[in-house]
């Protein structure tokens, strides 16, 4: 993978000008891709959900969750696992889970948005788990935008098919040919508790 620079300079400057550090609603929250096409044939995304699956994050792929139904007095029906929900956003981000110890979100050395496995805080050497922020834009309906150390976001296709229907993997600060630059917006999630026991 290689970092893109010039193609993201203008969007980054425009985005920075539109964002202020106003307080935003506290978590939990979900996240989605938001982008307008820049060329004919490119897909448009208006909040398509980002889901945790296999230690990474994807668009157009279901969340992968688990609840140990053999644990005494644990009611797995309370954790449907239908959505990917986050917490934090002030320097660190976590998946909103019930599993003891939690699961932290980080950027792997290859730029892939990733998360720790249950019961472990292990991250590959060179990964980054800090520098997250959620900021409210003054424009475009005042969306709450997620950023990491002012780096650009990219989604890279991992399946074939029509552009809108492909599965895309989410990256931070790195891209490659065929990937699309994007914005990540967050949305308040209202629930009486975590949606998932753990993500796998």
pLDDT at 23: 60
Burial of 200 (0-12, 13-18, 19+ CB in 10 A): middle
Give the start-to-end residue ranges of the domains of the chain. 6-66+79-199
Q: Is the distance from CB of 102 to CB of 87 less than 8 angstroms?
A: no
**pLDDT at 192 exceeding the cut of 50:** yes
Average pLDDT over residues 9-25: 47
Residue among 192, 200, 183, 186 at smallest CA distance from 86: 186
Predicted model pTM: 0.87
pLDDT at 142: 82
Sign of CA dihedral 177, 149, 142, 47: positive
pLDDT by residue (tens digit) across 121-180? 999 999 999 999 999 887 667 899 999 999 999 999 999 999 999 999 999 999 989 999
**pLDDT at 14 exceeding the cut of 50:** no
Residues 6+ apart with CB under 8 A from 106: 114, 115, 116, 123, 127, 128, 129
pLDDT by residue (tens digit) across 67-122? 998 888 899 999 999 999 999 999 999 999 999 999 999 999 999 999 999 999 99
pLDDT by residue (tens digit) across 27-74? 799 999 999 998 888 899 999 999 999 999 999 999 999 999 888 889
pLDDT at 27: 79
Structure confidence at residue 22 as a pLDDT band (50, 70, 90): low
Structure confidence at residue 15 as a pLDDT band (50, 70, 90): very low
Number of residues that this document lists for the chain: 200
pLDDT at 7: 40
Burial of 103 (0-12, 13-18, 19+ CB in 10 A): buried
């Amino acid at each position: 993978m290689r970092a893109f620079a010039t193609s993201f300079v203008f969007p980054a400057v425009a985005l920075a000008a539109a964002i202020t550090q106003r307080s935003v609603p506290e978590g939990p929250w979900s996240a989605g891709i938001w982008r307008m096409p820049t060329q004919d044939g490119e897909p448009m995304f208006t909040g398509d959900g980002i889901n945790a699956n296999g230690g990474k994050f994807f668009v157009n792929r279901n969340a992968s969750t688990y609840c140990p139904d053999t644990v005494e007095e644990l009611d797995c029906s309370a954790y449907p696992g239908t959505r990917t929900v986050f917490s934090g956003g002030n320097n660190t981000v976590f998946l909103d889970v019930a599993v003891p110890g939690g699961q932290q979100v980080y950027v792997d050395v290859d730029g892939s948005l990733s998360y720790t496995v249950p019961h472990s805080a292990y991250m590959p050497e060179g990964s980054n788990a800090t520098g997250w922020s959620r900021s409210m834009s003054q424009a475009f309906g005042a969306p709450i935008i997620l950023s990491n150390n002012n780096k650009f976001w990219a989604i890279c296709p991992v399946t074939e098919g029509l552009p809108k229907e492909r599965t895309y993997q989410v990256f931070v600060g790195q891209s490659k040919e065929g990937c699309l630059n994007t914005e990540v917006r967050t949305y308040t999630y209202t629930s009486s508790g975590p949606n998932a026991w753990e993500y796998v």
